[in-house]
């Protein structure tokens, strides 16, 4: 048996040579080339899909990492600003509290002064 008479299998499809020897040549080889071309195209398509998927996954990971970095930066800024704002608020609050208390103390003293002077005037009169 000659090797050219054996059936050929490509992509799970078996191509057997035609029964008549005059049709054997070109028809068989064109089918074989066509199937090999399809197989190569499928391999390339599979590689492209894998590349696209890998690219998408890497892009998602990069976006996720950037988002985490931004969150971390905002958190650090928030904590720093929050601390400084809290310190400012505490300082401002206590300054306002001191000034308010001082003004209230002064007003109480002035009221006491006038009321005591009025009382002393009333008592002497």
Give me 103's structure tokens: 């003004």
Using CA atoms, how far apart are residues 34 and 26, in angstroms rounded to an integer?
12
Share of the chain above pLDDT 90, in %: 19
CA 65-75-64 angle, 5° bins: 15
Q: 55-96 pLDDT, tens per residue? A: 999 999 999 999 999 888 887 777 776 666 666 655 555 556
Q: 3-14 pLDDT, tens per residue? A: 455 556 666 666
Using CA atoms, how far apart are residues 28 and 7, in angstroms rounded to an integer?
10
- How do the domains of the chain map onto residue ranges? 3-124
β-partners of residue 14 are 9
């Amino acid at each position: 048996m000659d090797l050219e008479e054996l059936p050929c299998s490509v992509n799970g499809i078996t191509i057997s040579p035609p029964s008549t020897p005059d049709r054997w040549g070109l028809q068989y080889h064109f089918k074989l080339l066509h199937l090999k071309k399809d197989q190569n195209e499928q391999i390339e398509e599979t590689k492209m899909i894998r590349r696209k998927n890998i690219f998408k996954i890497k892009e998602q990971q990069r976006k996720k990492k950037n988002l985490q970095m931004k969150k971390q930066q905002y958190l650090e800024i928030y904590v720093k600003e929050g601390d400084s704002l809290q310190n400012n608020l505490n300082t401002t609050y206590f300054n306002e509290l001191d000034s308010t208390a001082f003004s209230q103390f002064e007003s109480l003293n002035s009221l006491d002064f006038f009321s005591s002077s009025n009382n002393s005037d009333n008592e002497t009169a």
